[in-house]
Amino acid sequence: MTATDTRPSLEGIDLLARTWGQGVPHDQFDRLRREAPVHWHPEPGDTGFWAITRYADVKAVSHDWETFSSELGATFIPTQDEEAMAQLRLTILNMDPPKHHRYRRLVSRGFTPRMIGKLTEEIERRARAVVDAICEKGEVECVEEVAAQVPVQMICEMIGLEPELWPRMFEISNQLIGSRDDPDYQELPGGPEAAAAEIYALCDQVAADRRVNPRDDIMTALVHAEVDGERLDDAELNLFFVTLVVAGNETTRNLINHSMLALIEHPDQAQRLRDDPSLWDTAVEEMLRWGSSIHNFRRTATRDTEIRGVPIAAGEKVVMYYASANRDEEVFADPHTFDVGRTPNEHVAFGGGGVHYCLGASLARAEIRATMRQVVERLPDVELAGPVDRLHSDFVNGIKRMPIRFTPTTPTSED
C-alpha cells in the first residue's frame, strides 16, 4: 500500500500468517466483520487482495461471475500454498461460463440429489462397516480410520478405481494439498509435483482402459464425452481426474473430522441427537456451517466496481472467507454456539451459490450424516485421546491427525 493509498486496512490483521495450523482465526474475522468487512490485505511483493468477510458480500460476489471472475487470475491466493495447489489451477474451479457450464455438465448427472438418493443405502452400509472395523479397538486415529473411509471409497468407486488403489488416493490427496511450510509435507519425495505426476499416470491408464472397456462410471463418461464436438484430451482428463479425487474425498473427510470434534467438545449436542433422531437434518447443516472445509476462494475483478461503497479496481483480487461468513452475526444468532437444532441455517459451506456451487454437496451431506450417526449412536462416550494436529493451510481447513478413544463395543450383525 502506498502513502497515498486510501484503501481501508487494519493493523494486526494477518490472514497469510502460518498460524492456521492452530485453528481458524475467528477473532480476526470477528473484528473484520465489525470494523472493515471489505479489507485491503497486503501481500509480499507490494501486492494485496480484498478480504470479504460478511455473509451478504460473499453471496453477492459468488453470484456475479461477470464482475468477479474465477478464470481471470485463478481462484487461489498466490501464497506458498498455491504452489501446492498448482495442479488445480486449470480445472473447472478456474473457469467462467459458458466454458464452465459445458465442462460441469459432463459430471453433474452423477452428483444430483436423485443419484445420491440411489447411493444412500450403499453409503450407510459403508459407514456401518467403518465403525464395525474400529469399535472393538477402544482407541483409533480418527482421520485415517474413520473420517477418510467413506468419502474416499465412494468417490473412487464412482470414478471407477479398483479398491486396492483407494488408500493411495488418500495419500496423494494429502500430498497435493499439503503446504510446503507444513513439517509433515516438507520431506515428502517430490512434493505435490510428484503426487500430480503419479495421479496423472494413473488417469492415463484408466482412460486407456475405458476407451476399450467402458463401464458405468464417471471415468467412462469423461472419456467418451464431447465438448464443442471434440473429445477431452489427456490433459483435460487429468485435470478432471485430480479434481474429483481431491475434492471428492479431502473436503468431506475434513467436514467429518470437524463434525467429530464439534460433538466431542459439545457432548450435550450429541446427546440431543441420541434423544431425538429427528434432529439429524438440522444437525448436518450445523456441522457444515461449523466446520467449513474450505477457508476461501479468490475472484478477480473484471471491471471497476465497489462493495459496501468501497471502490475495487479492475484486476484487483477479491477473496471470500466462508468461515467468516458462516459466523456472521447479521445472519446467524449466537454464531459461535454449536446448535444441532439451528434453523434456519443457510450456510455457505458449499460456496455462496452461483455457478460454482459445490457439485458434491448432496454426496457430502449423505456421507457426513451416515458416518456421524454411526459414531453418535454406537460410540456414545467418544473423546479425544491426544492433541488435534491441524493442516498448515490458509486454503483447506484440514485436520491431519485426531486420536480418539471410546469404550470398546461389538460390531453389528448386519452385512
Q: Which residue has the cell 479496481?
A: 313
Q: How far is CA 255 from the centre of its chain?
A: 7
What pLDDT, on the 0 to 100 scale, is given for residue 84?
A: 45
| Domains present along the chain, CATH in parentheses | 20-405 (1.10.630.10)
What pLDDT, on the 0 to 100 scale, is given for residue 14?
A: 92
Segment-wise mean pLDDT, segments of 10 residues, the chain, 415 residues: 57 84 93 96 86 98 96 67 49 85 84 86 96 97 97 93 90 72 60 79 92 91 84 84 84 96 98 98 98 93 97 96 98 98 97 90 96 98 97 88 97 71
User: 184, 144, 180, 161: which is closest to 245 by C-alpha?
Assistant: 161
The secondary structure of 195-215, three-state, reads: HHHHHHHHHHHHHHHHHHCCC
Sequence-ordered list of residues with C-beta below 8 angstroms from that of 393, at least 6 positions apart, any chain: 20, 81, 177, 178, 179, 182, 295
